[in-house]
Amino acid sequence: MAQYINNDEMMRVASFYEPLRQRNLLFEQEFGRKPRAVVETHGCQQNENDSERLRGMLAEAGYDFSDDINDADVVVFNTCAVRENAEDKIFGRIGILKHIKEHKPHMLIALCGCMVQQQHIAEKIRTVHPQVDLVFGPHALYRFPELLEKAYKSRKTLLSVDDSDGAIAEDMPVMREDAHKAWVSVMYGCNNFCTYCVVPYVRGRERSRKPECIISEIEELARDGVGEITLLGQNVNSYGKDLEEDIDFADLIRRVNDIEGIERIRFMTSHPKDFGDRLIDAMAECDKVCPQLHLPFQSGSDKVLADMNRRYTRAEYLEKLNKAKARIPNLALTTDIIVGFPTETQADFEDTVSLLEEAEFDMIFSFIYSRRVGTPAAKMESVLSDEQIHKNFERMLSVQNEISRRKNEAYVGRVCRVLVDGESKTDSKMLTSRTDTGKIVNFAGDKSLAGKYIDVKITKAQTWSLYGELV
């Protein structure tokens, strides 16, 4: 049974808002404005979800917000550890902050999230980047007001990186990015220990939120006008295994499907080893569950899958995928793939390409393997050269681009119901929206349509997006 942070502890943490507000009032008297906070999110949807809580807590403490670190009085980097390039980017950002802080000594710098949960990184920051005032891991997220207040008083970098399994904190303040769509975590952590992956080490063991907490959060969202929710977990198919109540993820989405005001339900991520008929049935039978499935296969070779500790074979994967395709009309498929896992040979890579051709995904998220300290794969020797791995990666993308374009072209002429996100970032005359299958559709329209569900006729297809017109 997952550990919950109790009420007394939440109250203790909340008692730190008052001194923070006092501190911020003094700031306002001195500078004629409220202090400004920047929260920069790196990595996955779980981090985006956590950042909305960080902003909620900062708002509660009396901060204003900005997007520009040059304007900031407090900067929080919510970091990612999944691949090395994410970490390099954050060290680059810390270097920039060092220069800004030289001219702005009162600026407070905080780092949180998965990257700093790794002891060797926390240690590096403390010794090499003393300009960072506060470092805290994912398990300490709910303690942010307390840590922030303490960091203001501390002369040294304050570290809060415990290696517990993590507990669940409910009812943190939240400031949501989007008025019409929201992330909802159903569980935290991971028990799978794929040999390349750092997530189980930094996010702790699997813990499911109680269904009543999830349902009441979604009911509140629906009352606030949020129609689309994405249920989040590292492996949503493990949902409920650690709860007293007899419930699994398929049961949960059926309950969410009954909530009035919710129009669309998405979820990620499903682990293929646990994905099965119960979830396929629930997806097919629940009208609000979008026909969209993200099912990472990682590699098309059975040998590499075994070395990755994925616990399914290529044939099992394809069988499940085909069952889902047969049962759910118009199902859009996405996946994650790693190229250059240490034991991957050229023949193994060819198996990945052939799986791509066989499965026909709408879109893939592909990554070059990155060695992560402390994971079993980090000790394995690489078979292929970096040059070959990069060549393979490029080839895989071109194979997939062709498939993505073909799948998108099949939409031309269809009328699709879309949720309008708002103005396109690249062309202010266009609106951007999404189909229930997760496809981006750009079309000309008035920005007052933002947040509405409308019908659009698809007129043109590209590899990454569709174009359409209002009907």
372: tokens are 């992560």
Work out the burial of residue 246: count CB atoms within 10 Å of its CB; fewer than 13 is exposed, 13-18 middle, 19 or more buried: exposed
**Could you tell which of ligand SF4, ligand SAH, none binds residue 193, using a CB distance below 5 to 8 A set by kind?**
ligand SF4
328: tokens are 């759910």
**Of these, 197, 283, 304, 363, which contacts ligand SAH (CB under 6 A)?**
197
Q: Does 46 bind ligand SAH (CB under 6 A)?
A: no
- Output the smallest distance, CB 337 to ligand SAH, in A: 6
Residue (318 or 412) nearer to ligand SAH, CB: 318
Task: Tell me which stretch binds ligand SF4 (CB under 6 A): 22-30, 195-203, 259-267, 408-416.
Answer: 195-203
Q: Does 431 bind ligand SF4 (CB under 6 A)?
A: no
Task: Tell me which stretch binds ligand SAH (CB under 6 A): 163-171, 347-355, 364-372, 458-466.
Answer: 364-372
Q: Does 208 bind ligand SF4 (CB under 6 A)?
A: no
Give the list of residues 6+ apart from residue 333 with CB closer than 8 angstroms, or none. Answer: 292, 293, 294, 295, 321, 325, 359, 360, 361, 362
Q: If DSSP codes are grouped into helix, strand and coil, which group holds residue 6?
A: coil
Q: Does 200 bind ligand SF4 (CB under 6 A)?
A: yes
Catalogue the E-assigned strands of 155-249. Answer: 158-160, 181-185, 187-188, 207-208, 228-232
Q: Does 93 bind ligand SAH (CB under 6 A)?
A: no
Residue (122 or 199) nearer to ligand SAH, CB: 199
**Could you tell which of ligand SAH, ligand SF4, none binds residue 338, using a CB distance below 5 to 8 A set by kind?**
ligand SAH
- Output the smallest distance, CB 161 to ligand SF4, in A: 19
Q: Does 271 bind ligand SF4 (CB under 6 A)?
A: yes
Q: If DSSP codes are grouped into helix, strand and coil, which group holds residue 355?
A: helix
Residue (197 or 321) nearer to ligand SF4, CB: 197
**Of these, 372, 407, 434, 439, which contacts ligand SAH (CB under 6 A)?**
372
CB 331 within 8 A of CB 352: no
CB crowding 85-113: b at 16 or more within 10 Å, else e: ebbeebeebbeebeebbeeeeebbbbbbb
- Output the smallest distance, CB 88 to ligand SF4, in A: 20
Per-residue binding letters, 299-338, with ligand SAH (x by CB under 6 A): -------------------------------------x-x
Helix then strand count (H, E) for the chain reads 14, 19
**Could you tell which of ligand SF4, ligand SAH, none binds residue 200, using a CB distance below 5 to 8 A set by kind?**
ligand SF4
- Output the smallest distance, CB 33 to ligand SAH, in A: 40
- Output the smallest distance, CB 427 to ligand SAH, in A: 30
Q: Does 143 bind ligand SAH (CB under 6 A)?
A: no
Q: Does 271 bind ligand SAH (CB under 6 A)?
A: yes
Residue (83 or 434) nearer to ligand SF4, CB: 83
Strand partners, 289: 265
d(CA 287, CA 21): 46
Angle CA 219–225–230, to nearest 5? 65
Q: Does 389 bind ligand SAH (CB under 6 A)?
A: no
Torsion sign, CA atoms 372, 96, 104, 21? negative
Strand partners, 422: 432
Task: Tell me which stretch binds ligand SAH (CB under 6 A): 85-93, 146-154, 369-377, 428-436.
Answer: 369-377
- Residue 36 DSSP class: E
Give the list of residues 6+ apart from residue 134 with CB closer than 8 angstroms, or none. Answer: 108, 109, 110, 111, 147, 148, 151, 157, 158, 160
- Residue 246 DSSP class: -
Q: Does 270 bind ligand SF4 (CB under 6 A)?
A: no
Site for ligand SF4 in 321-380 (CB under 6 A): none
Task: Tell me which stretch binds ligand SF4 (CB under 6 A): 25-33, 55-63, 141-149, 187-195.
Answer: 187-195
Q: Does 363 bind ligand SAH (CB under 6 A)?
A: no
Residue (270 or 432) nearer to ligand SAH, CB: 270
24: tokens are 């911020």
CB 299 within 8 A of CB 338: yes
Residue (197 or 290) nearer to ligand SAH, CB: 197
DSSP string, 84-137: HHHHHHHHHHHHHHHHHHHT-TT-EEEEEETGGGSHHHHHHHHHH-TT--EEE-
CB 21 within 8 A of CB 61: yes
**Of these, 77, 142, 196, 239, which contacts ligand SAH (CB under 6 A)?**
196
- Output the smallest distance, CB 43 to ligand SF4, in A: 12
Residues near ligand SAH (CB under 6 A): 82-83, 196-197, 199, 234-235, 269, 271, 296, 298, 336, 338, 367, 369-370, 372
Residues near ligand SF4 (CB under 6 A): 190, 192-194, 197, 199-200, 234-235, 271
